[in-house]
């Protein structure tokens, strides 16, 4: 990796809103870039993390139908060791990396989720690709971890998500998390209260994960775009 400073692109919609400011920031130093999931329309990252093989196949097929590629030339995709080579080679013929990581079960009664690293393997209840990317950058030796696009699933109101005024992800509009899970527009509207509560609970788990990173593992990270995880937001960087 070329630099000990990194900018991680999570898939929240703020990377669309703040794209110009983020790209200007990248010009201020020799940053390594790490992308999470389907962010290829925003940037070509040095490392493109696809830790969810189901999402990888779904988005690869969607982009292929549009004549687009899931990974841009020049990026190195990163997968979990459980992702099958046959699936990777179906959509990507270049070199790639795999990491040995095991997702453990979330324990709601524990004060903090548990994370461990032994040699080249590590494991924990990482919740999503953004959290795992932060931890991976930390154990790879990055000393300054900047994160953009980690908005939070419940950062926007239910009304704004339903109307499409706001979006959870950089691709699509509205309640994109549930749409990706197969929910129809009508079902989302019908189940909006329960779905939104699930999103709020997921954000609480992510907040506990990030807090654990910071206070127990001394992970030096900050979030540069508006986020539901407000205590980690540094609003002074992007101009």
Q: What whole-number distance in Å separates Cα of residue 143 and Cα of residue 6?
A: 8
Among the ranges given (98-107, 129-138, 154-163, 214-223), the one the predictor scored with the smallest mean pLDDT: 98-107
Quick check: 224 pLDDT over 80? yes
What letter would DSSP give residue 231?
A: G
Quick check: 158 pLDDT over 70? yes
pLDDT, greater one: 128 or 33: 33
Q: What is the pLDDT of residue 145?
A: 97
Summarised one tens digit per residue, pLDDT across range 113-150 is 566 666 666 777 788 899 999 999 998 999 999 999 99
pTM to 2 decimals?
A: 0.89
Alpha helices per DSSP H over 98-238: 129-139, 158-163, 176-180, 185-190, 192-215
């Amino acid at each position: 990796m070329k630099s000990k400073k990194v900018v991680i692109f999570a898939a929240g919609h703020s990377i669309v809103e703040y794209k110009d400011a983020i790209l200007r920031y990248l010009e201020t130093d020799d940053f390594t870039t790490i992308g999470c999931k389907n962010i290829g329309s925003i940037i070509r990252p040095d490392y493109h993390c696809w830790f969810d093989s189901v999402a990888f196949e779904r988005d690869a097929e969607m982009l292929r139908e549009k004549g687009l590629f899931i990974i841009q030339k020049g990026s190195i995709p990163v997968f979990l060791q459980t992702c099958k080579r046959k699936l990777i080679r179906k959509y990507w013929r270049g070199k790639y990396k795999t990491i040995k990581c095991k997702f453990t079960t979330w324990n709601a009664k524990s004060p903090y989720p548990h994370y461990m690293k032994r040699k080249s393997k590590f494991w924990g209840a990482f919740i999503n690709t953004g959290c795992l990317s932060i931890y991976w950058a930390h154990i790879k030796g990055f000393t300054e971890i900047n994160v953009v696009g980690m908005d939070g699933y419940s950062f926007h109101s239910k009304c704004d998500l339903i109307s499409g005024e706001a979006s959870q992800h950089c691709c699509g509009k509205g309640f994109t998390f549930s749409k990706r899970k197969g929910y129809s527009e009508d079902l989302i509207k019908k189940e909006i209260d329960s779905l939104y509560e699930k999103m709020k609970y997921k954000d609480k788990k992510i907040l506990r994960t990030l807090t654990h990173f910071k206070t127990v593992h001394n992970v030096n990270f900050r979030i540069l775009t508006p986020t539901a995880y407000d205590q980690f937001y540094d609003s002074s960087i992007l101009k």
